Chains A and B, each alone.
Chain A
Amino acid sequence: MTLRRLAFAFAVGVAVQVVVGLGGAAAQQVTLKVWMHEHPPRIPIDKAIVAEFEKANPNIKIQYDVLGVAEYSTKLLTAFASGSGPDIFNQTSALVAQYFTSRIMAPVDLAAMGHANEKVLQDLYGSGLDGIRFGGRLYGIPTEVSNYACYTNNTIWKEAGLDPMKDFPRTWEEFPAIAEKLTQRDANGVPRRRGFDFNWPSAGAFWNSFNALLQQRGGTLVDEATYKAALDTPTNHRTFQYLIDWAAKHRLGGPQYTDSRTDFLGGKLGTDCTFGIWGIPQMHDAKIDFTVRPAPRFADATSDNGMNAYAYYMMVNARSSTAVQKAAWAYVRYYSDQAERLFAGSGLFVPRPEVAARAIDANSRVFLDELKKAKFPPRVVGYSQVLDAVMRGRDRMIQGGEPAAKVLPELNKDIDVILQRERARAEALNR
């Protein structure tokens, strides 16, 4: 315990020294515009960090703004477009590919951050960096790395005579039978309380679930290397069919119902697999008696990954002036060193040793173990278009009743069209 505290204090101390040293070296007055998305518990900590940094670096002034999640991406885009974008911004891994293609992000400046080499970062963050590495270079630092795991509502499970620890399905194949026991239906067989359902309506959550399932059997939606859609394979067809059957054949749920997260927090769903470690405080607030379990795998899975990981990265605007960029990386270094404090105060996890050491209870350990095996979903420019296409294709099969054999090749082609257009644009801009 004390050793850990010492380690933490040491880390902070080093950070402060470095920052103060840097601050002393670059003596000109600089203002940094920092934008972050709204996550209420994190905001007071951010403000404290800003104050500390400004005190230690009198020549750097920070203008910190929080933007609502729903409009954050749009505002970022329009701000960049009009040349008034922030100098430092954070964004989720699904959306960074477009920033790379449009050269908005500056590559990590190790010197300005005060790191000796990239191995230091690798040791600190491990696979959390995968989402922000393009062409072998890093373009940001993680402020949050999350992966989903499954939460069970113990009350509902026990009511059905099941034990979340022993009876939780290891495989997707055995899940329908278990979910059926947890489901309450009315006279028409309509599920009024579901045992488990995928998160169909919530785009991001669906993306992280569905891709993970494909990856378990060794398939993928998009081949990042060739930048082509790779959906139309027999293995992927089978995986997709599982999702369709869940709604259409077993009638255990489907896109027409409330999204799984909302229902789980409302105590109306037996199991949900779209919460991260940050869900734990939410469960306490909603007074759900829960257990965390690793996500099921396919019996014939070739990859032992659970649900996907995603991250929030802090990045620097490549269009800002050199002096501003240097100061920005100094701030990023200081901010990222506060990781333990951020985790303690707002539940945001990064796989840094000091933070991981804090996550010691059984539930949190499930997340950490799963994170080591988790993969990122494919990163695509035009993410919202591809995601829309996938969800609409899924709807055609589930709600429109069209056969997968017809829809999936068409969906594959649609995704390809989107990818090729984006690639054509990147080439036209000589990138």
Chain B
Amino acid sequence: MFADFDKPPFRPLLFMAALLLAVVWAFPIYFMVTSAFKAEPEIMALPIHWWPQDFQWLGRFREAADFAPLWWYFFNSSLFAVTHVVITVFFGALAGFGFAKYDFPGRTLLFYFVICTLMIPFQILVVPLFIEIRLFGWENTYAGLVIPGLMHAFGVFMMRQYAADLPDELLEAGRIDGASEFYLFLRIVLPLLTPALTSLAIIIFIWSWGAFLWPLVVVQDRELNVLSVGLTNYSQPYQQVPMWGAAMAASTIATIPIACLFAFFQRYFIKGLTAAAIKG
């Protein structure tokens, strides 16, 4: 777009338009973060307090942690997300590799089988899955919470695309050297796929971190719940006025991991999001 790589031109009209949009769009996020550091009455004060007049460092955070098991929520969400990421990425890559580089009977059928699951909305799974895991005795347990969503078909799909692009010669070379197929996967395929794996990991992390419906249904103990569901304890407490300060503090904590991923892995982040989109 630029004729040369100097600084881009200063175009005030476009800048103003973009500035207006950016400010309006970013405002609620800004409001969330500043409210997390305000005293409770100041949060709803009008005219709006753009910056906390009475800056409270950890007051709201402590409140949030006292009212509900905030750190358990964080731990459970982390456990949930990390497990999902690791399993989906590893087995997705494995299956993607299998579908891409091997020609076994039933390959097409099984591939379409996996891809079809992409079209299944979660709402149609929630009731039968609930009954199913109750039969396993997993209801209200870590197993019941984590296991049902452990693998995402999207991982298989994406990894297959990338694995298909891997040069066969490399694999053959490995085989001639006496490597087993699994060894090939671990030592040659996985390293080569690292950028794609990173993008996939990020997108799976974001999906899992925000998971709401399943934890809502399967978990009943407070200490077992995840951050996304636990957050509603502050905004919709049982027979009590909402604790907005604590809610904003907990919301900020819930946003930080994703914000960090975005800050450090911006390229992979964007790539992962668009890859998720272009799955048709």
Contacts and interface: CB of A to CB of B under 8 A. Distances in A.
Interface of A: 68-71, 74-75, 78, 81-82, 202, 258-259, 261-262, 266
B176 interface: no
Residue in A70, A81, A202 with the greatest tally of chain B CB atoms within 10 Å: A70
A235 B181 CA distance: 81
A317 B241 CA distance: 37
A74 B218 CA distance: 11
12 contacts: A68-B220, A74-B220, A75-B220, A78-B139, A82-B134, A202-B239, A258-B241, A261-B239, A262-B239, A262-B240, A262-B241, A266-B241
Nearest to B220: A71
Binding site secondary structure of chain A: helix
Contacts of A74: 220
Interface of B: 134, 139, 220, 222, 238-241
A78 B241 contact: no
Given A68-B222, A262-B239, 13 more contacts: A68-B220, A69-B238, A71-B220, A74-B220, A75-B220, A78-B134, A81-B134, A82-B134, A202-B239, A258-B241, A259-B239, A261-B239, A262-B240
B139 A70 contact: no
Nearest to B130: A78
Contacts of A82: 134
Contacts of A68: 220, 222
A255 to B, nearest CB: 15
A271 to B, nearest CB: 18
A300 to B, nearest CB: 34
A262 B139 CA distance: 33
A265 B87 CA distance: 50
A71 B220 CA distance: 6
Closest 8 CB pairs of A and B: A71-B220, A262-B241, A70-B238, A75-B220, A82-B134, A262-B240, A258-B241, A78-B139
Contacts of B139: 78
Nearest to B217: A74
B79 to A, nearest CB: 21
- Interface-centre pick from B134, B222, B238, B239 (highest chain A CB count, 10 A): B239
A71 B238 CA distance: 11
